[in-house]
Chain A
Amino acid sequence: MALLRIDIEGTPQAIPYRSFLRVANNSLSILDDLDIAFSHRRFGGATDWYMNDLSSNGKLRLEIYSKTKEMKRKRLPDIASDITRSFVSGFRTLETQGRSPAYLSEVGMKKAESLTDVVGHNGARAIVAVDVITKEEVEITRQSAINIGKLIPEASKSYGSIEGTLEEISIHKGNHFVVYESISGKGVRVRLGNHDLLQKVKDNLGSRILVSGLLSRNAKNEPISVTIQRENNFKVFGTDLQILPLKELGGSDPNFTGDLSTADFIRSIRE
């Protein structure tokens, strides 16, 4: 179970109802986006959120708590604490480091942009998000909005690849899926183009994959999206890419570098 508090700091009477709803709606969308990343459930996630408090005492307060969805045949894991922790730490990454947070997809980033856009307007000075259980909190200021503004637009394109876990397939507005990159955890949108890969993609939901193609990056050089150019740009580890245990290699070939020592071999190939 998790408890998330969101305070809109400022002058309550000056904050438009529309801004309040925007914070509420976008924070829920971000929670749903993170839910998909943790639950691996592309439709609806695993968590429902309920109101715990709605009050005003010098600031507008919204407090929600989680309930894991109940399924008839399957017991879903309680991932709510992961979601709220990532919500808070993600905004901290955006606010203080100006980098894309882990587990937030392109859609989630746009929701974060919309949420932070409220700050600095119509009496809303800042938004404070608190994971009530861990007591971790973040103050979201105008700086987050500025940083997100730099992270969403595409700054460069090059041929490249990303490795990560395949999640969240969408067949609307052009087929695409989301890969959570293994190093940063950032959600990267992969466009399938006109290639007949949808079935293979569906069959490998949750798998570790390697996707290559035209890679778009933001101003921080983080990958935003990949457009697959050829069908063999989509490879699944363990299926298309054989994996062997690294430990087996240890001491397996004393003559690996011929009559050169390791250092001499390295020097010979680098000079």
Chain B
Amino acid sequence: MSGRYRKPYVESSVFIAFIKGEKDQGPKRDQDAKAIFDTIIDNAKAGRFKIVTSALTIAEVFKNKKNPQLTEQQDEDLRPYFREDYIQIVEIDREVGERANELCRTLQADQPSGFKSLRPNDGIHIAAAEKAECDVVLAWDPDFISQAPRLTTVKPENPEALQPVIPVAKQEPLELKSAEDIESVVLPPTSIALVPSMKEPKIKEPTPATEAVAPTTETSVTPVATPEAKVVGAPLKTP
């Protein structure tokens, strides 16, 4: 299901579970956070979508220093990992802050329905996802996901594995020795596409500069067509 996400917003818990390599995520505690996020990264790297997250995620994904066994190496700076060009960062600005405030005011604890209050940082993630016009917020946090029925725009849900990206074999350019070789090269049918317009071209013969352009009625001159083939496949090298 590579088309599952159009523009996913990835919340901090997804990055943290990925770094930890947790295999017990999801409602049945049987989902492999690393394997699932790997497929999402692969799809983003293949250009199918961008992974959207916010500046808040960068702030939240840090090593828990309460761990006494922390070494210098483990305390490494993670910020450079958020700078790949398929990751889009949403700024936390006034608009996001005001929208998060509005969400928190609206989505307060509702005991009869069993809803907890929406936490301000959860609100910021939702507001940031709305700002970037994301279709989903991916999270491994059950508390956050429990808010989904009350949200009307973008909803948090557990990530799902996407179809693996099949690498495309690199096509070597065809070497041509002479112009005659061009006739002997057979390109696959999908390699050549006529520019759609060329089937019904409207290009007229260029008018000499000295000739005045008369305000005539529409399309009084017969168009002259020069169909051109657009080679989409391997470029042809000439000597």
Contact = CB atoms under 8 A, between A and B. Distances in A.
A21 interface: no
A257 B64 contact: yes
B64 A263 contact: no
Interface string A171-203: 000000000001100000000000000000000
Interface in A122-178: 132-134, 156, 158, 160-161, 163
Contacts, number: 150
Contact of B18 (A183, A245, A249): A249
A3 interface: yes
B16 A257 contact: yes
Contacts of B64: 256-258, 260, 265
B20 A262 contact: yes
Contacts of B37: 250
B218 A55 contact: yes
Given A133-B197, A255-B74, A247 B19 contact: no
A221 interface: yes
A137 to B, nearest CB: 14
A259 B207 CA distance: 79
Nearest to A60: B215
B130 interface: no
A65 B16 CA distance: 53
Interface residues of A, number: 55
Contacts of A51: 207, 213
B112 interface: no
Interface stretch (A30-38, A40-48, A235-243): A235-243
A61 B19 CA distance: 60
Interface size class of B (residues with CB under 8 A): 35 or more
Contacts of B143: 263, 266-267
Contacts of A161: 91
- Which of A156, A237, A253, A262 has the largest count of B CB atoms less than 10 A from its CB? A262
B202 interface: yes
B140 A262 contact: yes
A251 B38 CA distance: 11
Contact of A247 (B38, B93, B122): B38
Contacts of B101: none
Given A50-B206, A160-B93, A253-B74, A245 B12 contact: no
Interface string B67-105: 101000010001011111101111101110000000000
A265 B218 CA distance: 70
Given A158-B93, A183-B88, A271-B119, A250 B202 contact: no
B218 A243 contact: no
A208 B67 CA distance: 37
A1 interface: yes
B122 A253 contact: no
Contacts of B120: 270
Interface in A65-116: 65
Contacts of A253: 19-20, 63, 74
B215 A246 contact: no
Interface of B: 12-13, 15-22, 25, 33-34, 37-38, 41, 60, 63-64, 66-67, 69, 74, 78, 80-85, 87-91, 93-95, 119-122, 132, 140-144, 195-197, 202-204, 206-207, 213, 215-220, 228
13 contacts: A54-B213, A54-B215, A56-B218, A57-B218, A133-B196, A247-B38, A252-B21, A254-B20, A260-B64, A262-B25, A266-B144, A269-B60, A270-B121
Given A1-B197, A56-B216, 9 more contacts: A55-B215, A55-B220, A57-B218, A133-B195, A158-B93, A183-B90, A208-B85, A254-B21, A269-B60
